[in-house]
Chains A and B, each alone.
Chain A
Amino acid sequence: MSAHALIGIASFVLMTGSFYFVRPSVFLAVALGILALSAMASWQVAAGAHTVIMLLGLALYGFGLLIVRIMLRRSVSLHLLSRYASGDAAASVRTDIASRLQDAEHHGLVTRSDDVYTLTRFGRCIVWLTGVLRVAIRAAS
């Protein structure tokens, strides 16, 4: 097995391991660190398409892990499934839905005045971006 392949496997395993063992708030920094080290090491061994593809893959993998973690923590359907599994008959999707509004305010996507919510400029950007992605998906299918 080539040195390049070993670097790739090691980076992949490190990133996967850090997803499980490292605190979520630190994972992004760790993933970027692994990516940087991998880039330096693999570029010295074999600069070219191999390295670009591998680094692109590691970057996508790290991004994917981040997104999946958000899904696992935030998914209303998954929470519902967990409550059914634990026998909690008092499942409340409405409470989960309400907490998303708090998240939106916390992340600066909306502002609140009394009980009325309004999109911020950042929120409008996110809506625009997701709209573009949805159109692209519809166009593709």
Chain B
Amino acid sequence: MTDVAIALGAFLLAMICSDLVLNGAKIQTGLARALAVYAAIGSGTLLYLQLAGGAGAIAFAIYWAGAFLSWFGVRSHLESSILLRMLALLQSGSKTKGELIDECERSYGEVQRVEELLRAGLVTCGPETIEVTRKGRFVVRAAAWLQ
């Protein structure tokens, strides 16, 4: 089971290195960097396992795809989930609906979200309106297709 330990260790290393590379940026805006880290560590680990006569390439590829997707999903939720933010706010005591929504809007309302969409290259600021880029339209279509 040394190969299992190596695979788990590689996943842990990839999580740590991705966070270092993201350097505080949200996962959606630093996705390419995180993907590069996972690709590099995954390739290195696969090469090592193949040279050492360890676990098969297909088995490891499936594992790595699952590892990345799970990490991406959990990380995104921890960063952006409004529901989790509301629960954290309630830890200090009961609140009214208005108080909770006001607080969430203050910390992560439309202004902050548009800034994030701008940083990710999904929208641009037109003369009078927000305009969605080609990349943004692709994301919208992909999301609709996957739902």
Contact = CB atoms under 8 A, between A and B. Distances in A.
Interface of A: 1-2, 4-5, 8-9, 11-12, 19-20, 49-54, 56-78, 80-82, 84-85, 89, 91, 93-94, 96-98, 100-101, 103-104, 109-110, 115-119, 123-124, 126-127, 130-131, 133-134, 137, 140-141
A91 B101 CA distance: 16
Interface of B: 1-4, 7, 15-16, 19-20, 22-24, 28, 54-70, 72-78, 80-84, 86-88, 90-91, 94-98, 100-101, 104-105, 109-110, 113-114, 116-117, 122-123, 129-132, 136-137, 139-140, 143-144, 146-147
A141 B1 CA distance: 29
Given A100-B82, A100-B83, A57 B90 contact: no
A20 B147 CA distance: 8
Contacts of B75: 137
Contacts, number: 222
Contact of B101 (A54, A78, A94, A116): A94
B94 A117 contact: yes
Contacts of B88: 127, 130-131
B69 A68 contact: yes
Given A67-B74, A68-B72, A140-B16, A53 B63 contact: yes
